[in-house]
Amino acid sequence: MKIVVLEGSPNKNGSTHILADCFRQGAKEAGHTVELTDVAHADIRPCIGCIHCGYEGPCVQNDDVEIIRKKILDADMLVFATPLYYYGMSAQLKKMVDRFCAFNSSIQRKHLKSALLSVAWNSDSWTFDALEAHYKTLVRYLNLQDMGTVLGYGCVTPSMTEHSRFPQQAYHLGNCLR
């Protein structure tokens, strides 16, 4: 299976990347091809709502979205990897998700598998409620098949994340994919 992980953290080697890389290692060992795609540092402009794309491309903006679009539409699975920022996905990942507008129908027809990897400073039981609701809405709207989530509560620093149970959970999620 071809898997694209959209990494939405502005911290290149932070806790989100730790989970994404552990997921990649597990999936690779299970025989899958995994591409980590750094959307946080890609040239992605916000959707301007012009609807020039007609909801099925091309977009009037000339940025990296067309490259990422091809990766997504060539994949069998899409993984959203984000730090939790104010109880939602990072703005960097949200910009990419908003740009799905130009190829929603193509994503919907693919029936991609999906997963969510996220980390948060906070460890309250309700910490991920809003992000989980958003992810479940994306799964429903885009006709994705949810394969699981790893929600890293209390991941204050990369070192704390590395020594938590969450990297192993991300590895296991990747390794159990069929």
Two tokens, residue 93: 């990942």
At residue 55, the pLDDT reads: 87
Judge contact between 106 and 23, C-beta under 8 A.
no
Q: Identify the band that residue 127 occupies on the pLDDT scale cut at 50, 70 and 90.
A: very high
Integer angstrom CA distances of residue 107 from 14, 16, 132, 139, 167: 29, 24, 20, 11, 28
What is the rounded distance in angstroms from the CA atom of residue 155 to the CA atom of residue 147? 22
pTM metric for this prediction: 0.97
Q: Identify the band that residue 77 occupies on the pLDDT scale cut at 50, 70 and 90.
A: very high
Q: What are phi and psi of 68, to 5 degrees?
A: -70, -35
Integer angstrom CA distances of residue 87 from 4, 40, 111, 178: 24, 18, 27, 31
Helix (H, G, I), strand (E, B) or coil at 91: helix
At residue 58, the pLDDT reads: 86
CATH number at residue 165: 3.40.50.360
Mean pLDDT of the chain: 97
Judge contact between 43 and 74, C-beta under 8 A.
no
Q: What is the DSSP string of 102-139?
A: GGHHHHHHHT-EEEEEEE-S---TTTTHHHHHHHHHHH
Range of the domain at 101: 2-175
Residues 139-164 pLDDT 10s = 999 999 999 999 999 998 999 999 99
Structural domains in the chain (count): 1
Q: What are phi and psi of 33, to 5 degrees?
A: -100, 125
What is the rounded distance in angstroms from the CA atom of residue 48 to the CA atom of residue 15? 31
Mean pLDDT of 102-121: 97
